[in-house]
Amino acid sequence: MIVAAIVLEGTACVQYFSSRAALQQEAERRAMSELRRAELEVNVVAAEVEMSVKSMALMAGKNLHAPQRLYDILQIMVLHTPNMTGAGFTFDPYYYKPQKWFEPYCCEVVSGDKSDIRCGQIGGEDHDYFQAEWYRHGRENDSCLWSEPYYDNAGAKAMLVSCTYPVKDDKGNTVAVAGADVSLIRLKYIADYLQVYPESYYSIESADGTVIVPLPDMNFKRGYQRYEEYIERTGWKLAVVIPDRVVYAELRKTGLIVSVMMFIGLAVLVLLVYGTGRNLIKLVNLRNQQERIESELSIARKIQMALLPTRFPPFPDYPELHAYGEVLPAKEVGGDLFDFYLLNNKLYFCIGDVSGKGVPASLVMAVTRSLFRSFTSYLDNPAQIVAQMNNTLAGEGNEQNMFVTLFLGVLDMSTGSLRYCNAGHDKPICLPSGNAPCTPLDCKANLPLGVIAGFVYAEQETKLAPGDTLFLYTDGLTEAENSAHEQFGMERIDAQLAARGEASPRELIEQMQAAVKAFAGEAEQSDDLTLFALRVNGERVVDKSNTHYSLVMRNDIQQIPTLAEWIEMIGLPPELNMPINLALEEAVSNVMLYAYPGTSGQVLVECDLKNEKGGRTFIFTISDKGIPFDPTQQEEPDVTQSAEDRPIGGLGIFLVKQIMDEVSYERKDEKNILTLVKSLTR
Amino acid sequence: MTIRIENEGNQVVAHLAGRLDTPAATAVTPNFAALAEQADKHIVLDCSELEYISSSGLRLFLTLRKESTAKGGKLQVRAINADIRQVFMMTGFISLFEII
């Protein structure tokens, strides 16, 4: 851009200077042309006068005998020669005896509009023309002579210039001088030619330097150009003086215009650059904004995902409860939700779908979830909870008219009774234990949340038997589309569920997800997809006849306290508590530290309690899918050794073997299985 | 699990409270290392508030015991409860430590 500007300005400068030169030349040309024209005019006038003077002289030469006729000749001459203001003959001394001087003279007299010719004899003592240079030179030259300008007191009483020609008699002797006067005032019109510029000045000088037409009284040293022409015939010098600024007036004007245009052009360029720059900045800003929005959306997704329950395995307090849920949002953030938590021996859970997608839906989703948590903290009646949530959502501030379909359930862990309320959501499906056919849960049709405040919701109740699974989903599942725009549909869902076998809630959901993915293929996910399943495996009965407990942990020793809580929950006889803790901690720590070198993995601890007549037997199984590792093969320490000789390790498995009645290891199905048995006799 | 080390007269007393399980043992390893620096002195491990000890905890005790012997100090274990005593007996630690 700057380069362009420089080039542009450079071009303008070059143009300026060449224009200047051109104008200079133009001035010169103009001046010279006019000078020559003036010269021509002067020459014409001069030639005319010369002709007249010559004729005069010739005619005088033929009329020397009749001096009176000389006046007539003069009169005619003056009359018919426009530029001749006066004419006369100056005779040699005593030509016409007894007169010494004889100068017949006629001149023009102008008064007002009228011009008259006055004639007379003007030679005399007061006009002693013998002394005059023009007389002396005139009679010796055989050609016309032009005199220097002079002021004629006697005759015309003006500045004159005269042309002389000798008068010769029939013998060829010069007897007189014929002279014609040209008033310099007449030359003024010639001078008008020389006005080549409105403010130029001109001058006419005679050969001697006598100023015929003067220049104005100014200092012509600087800033002026002078052009001259020399007129040979009269010996005059014509000069034209032009001020520079007049010469370059055009240039100045043009220059000004060009400069202004240049600046305008430059300004336009600058504006364009500025505008483009602004646009670029705007584009960059937009790009940055977009990136920021995308990164914020991904953070929002993480926050949203963190709002959902993520901690599976089942609750340490309720190992019989298996629950698993997952949300797959269509966009970065979605409007589906599910949540569950335990309070006072009741499981509160919900699944829902906010109308719409993206950020607005996700905000409503977050609000709905927090309403769920807040109302379930002091209400356990599903109809009441849902009604309160609805009143809040349908109240002020819902100008967007976003509504939420919701299924809310309260499962009493001690009785297995499930109270629920369905607010316009897809009916959950009951999967009885074994392979009995699945049935949708019977749901009354209530309005979704956020439609009308004050709606009266109806609740229902059913019983969830041990081993029964409740499968919940959002319409993202039924409406999942493939590239042919077919929907997954209830039939496929039912078929998938029918083939569930013994799948745990997690396995169920993973299998369903795989089925949807296989169905959808390349098609983009159009709606949020949420799946949630829960199952209560065994009942917590007080006498614990045949009971199974399980706990899933990551290979992280920080989870050891969780193990302790689980053991606490099983409810061992007090004297067994500490030893079992010790033994299990040792066995589990070993697995955590060694089974998954460098990776993460799961450690499963299970307890089977067998109540028999003679007593109770606790069978603990610790299994992992890590590298083959048999802790029973470790060397036992020599406990009789002194401290100095005792190696630090090996103590763990020793304790296990000390405490437990049986310790066995097997590697089966790519798993390490360590079985610890402790019997208690009544 | 907390550990509080104090000077009582000319003794260095470490008060252990809570469950010294595997993760807890890892957490207090630096504290035991600090005690090992003073193993030339008279150290008392006060276990009046110690509820439980795992093999990892026992390892810490053993390491300190070796340091104490090497530097010519004195190490005593004070006020262990019945469960911990049972563990000490099972592992033979009962004869390795001076229990007071």
ipTM value, please give it: 0.87
Domain match, A409 and A529 both? yes
Mean pLDDT of A416-442: 89
Q: Which of A199, A220, A247 is the last residue of a domain?
A: A247
SS3 label, residue A481: strand
Res A18: pLDDT: 80
Label residue B56 left, alpha or beta by phi (over 0 means left) and psi (-120 to 50 means alpha). Answer: alpha
Domain match, A334 and A376 both? yes
pLDDT tens by residue, A179-197: 888 877 776 666 666 666 6
pLDDT tens by residue, A564-601: 888 888 878 888 888 898 999 999 988 888 888 877 77
CB contact B66 to A (< 8 Å): yes
Domain match, A526 and A629 both? no
How many domains does chain A contain in total?
Answer: 3
Task: Categorize the per-residue pLDDT at A134 as very low, low, confident or very high, splitting at 50, 70 and 90.
Answer: confident
Domain match, A573 and A642 both? yes
Q: Do A648 and B65 touch (CB under 8 A)?
A: no
- Nearest CB to A586 within list B55, B92, B96: B55
Q: Do A643 and B62 touch (CB under 8 A)?
A: yes
Give the C-alpha separation, A623 to A613, whole Å: 29
- Nearest CB to A643 within list B22, B55, B65: B65
What is the mean pLDDT, run by run of 10 residues, along chain B of 100 residues?
91 94 91 92 94 89 90 93 89 88
Q: Is residue A283 part of a domain?
A: no
Among A5-19, A436-450, A589-603, B69-83, the minimum mean pLDDT is found in A5-19
Q: Do A589 and B56 touch (CB under 8 A)?
A: yes
- Identify whether the C-beta of residue A269 lies closer than 8 Å to the C-beta of residue A303: no
Mean pLDDT of A465-493: 89
DSSP state letter for A129: G
Q: Is residue A293 part of a domain?
A: no
For the domain that residue A632 is a member of, what is the CATH number? 3.30.565.10
Q: What is the mean pLDDT of chain A?
A: 81
Which one of A592, A639, A654, A660 makes the best mutation probe of the B interface by having the most chain B beta carbons within 10 Å? A639
Q: Is residue A300 part of a domain?
A: no
Among A207-211, A502-506, B89-93, the minimum mean pLDDT is found in A207-211
pLDDT tens by residue, A633-680: 766 666 665 554 555 456 777 888 888 999 999 998 888 999 999 988
Res A407: pLDDT: 96
Q: Which residues of A touch B28 (CB under 8 A)?
A: none
Domain match, A427 and A562 both? no
Question: Is the pLDDT assigned to residue A87 strictly greater than 50?
Answer: yes
Our CA-based measurement puts residue A587 at a distance from the nearest CA of chain B, in whole angstroms, of 11
Domain match, A398 and A509 both? yes
Task: Categorize the per-residue pLDDT at A539 as very low, low, confident or very high, splitting at 50, 70 and 90.
Answer: very low
Mean pLDDT of A465-480: 89
Domain match, A57 and A11 both? yes
CB contact A644 to B (< 8 Å): yes
Q: Is residue A255 part of a domain?
A: no
Res A542: pLDDT: 40
DSSP state letter for A632: G
Higher pLDDT pick, B99 / A465: B99
Domain match, A443 and A331 both? yes
Q: Which of A247, A275, A290 is the last residue of a domain?
A: A247
Domain match, A440 and A352 both? yes
Chain A: residue nearest B51 by CA? A578
Give the C-alpha separation, A236 to A229, whole Å: 8
Domain match, A559 and A485 both? no
Res A194: pLDDT: 65
CB contact A404 to B (< 8 Å): no
Q: Which of A216, A231, A247 is the last residue of a domain?
A: A247
Domain match, A207 and A328 both? no
- Nearest CB to B91 within list A558, A581, A651: A651
Domain match, A499 and A625 both? no
For the domain that residue A42 is a member of, what is the CATH number? 3.30.450.20
Q: Is residue A180 part of a domain?
A: yes
Q: Do A564 and B65 touch (CB under 8 A)?
A: no
Please, which residues have CB within 8 angstroms of residue A398's CB and are 6 or more apart in sequence?
Answer: A450
Range of the domain at A562: 546-681
Res A308: pLDDT: 65
Apex A361 CA angle, A357 and A363, nearest 5: 145
Res A383: pLDDT: 94
Task: Categorize the per-residue pLDDT at A397 as very low, low, confident or very high, splitting at 50, 70 and 90.
Answer: low
Q: Do A581 and B55 touch (CB under 8 A)?
A: no
CB contact A640 to B (< 8 Å): yes
Res A316: pLDDT: 65
Task: Categorize the per-residue pLDDT at A139 as very low, low, confident or very high, splitting at 50, 70 and 90.
Answer: confident
Task: Tally Cβ neighbours within 10 Å of residue B1.
Answer: 18
Q: Is residue A287 part of a domain?
A: no
Task: Categorize the per-residue pLDDT at A361 as very low, low, confident or very high, splitting at 50, 70 and 90.
Answer: confident
Q: Do B69 and A644 touch (CB under 8 A)?
A: yes
Domains by residue range for chain B, with CATH: 2-99 (3.30.750.24)
Res A540: pLDDT: 44
CA proximity to A194, closest of A185, A204, A184, A186: A204
DSSP state letter for A399: T
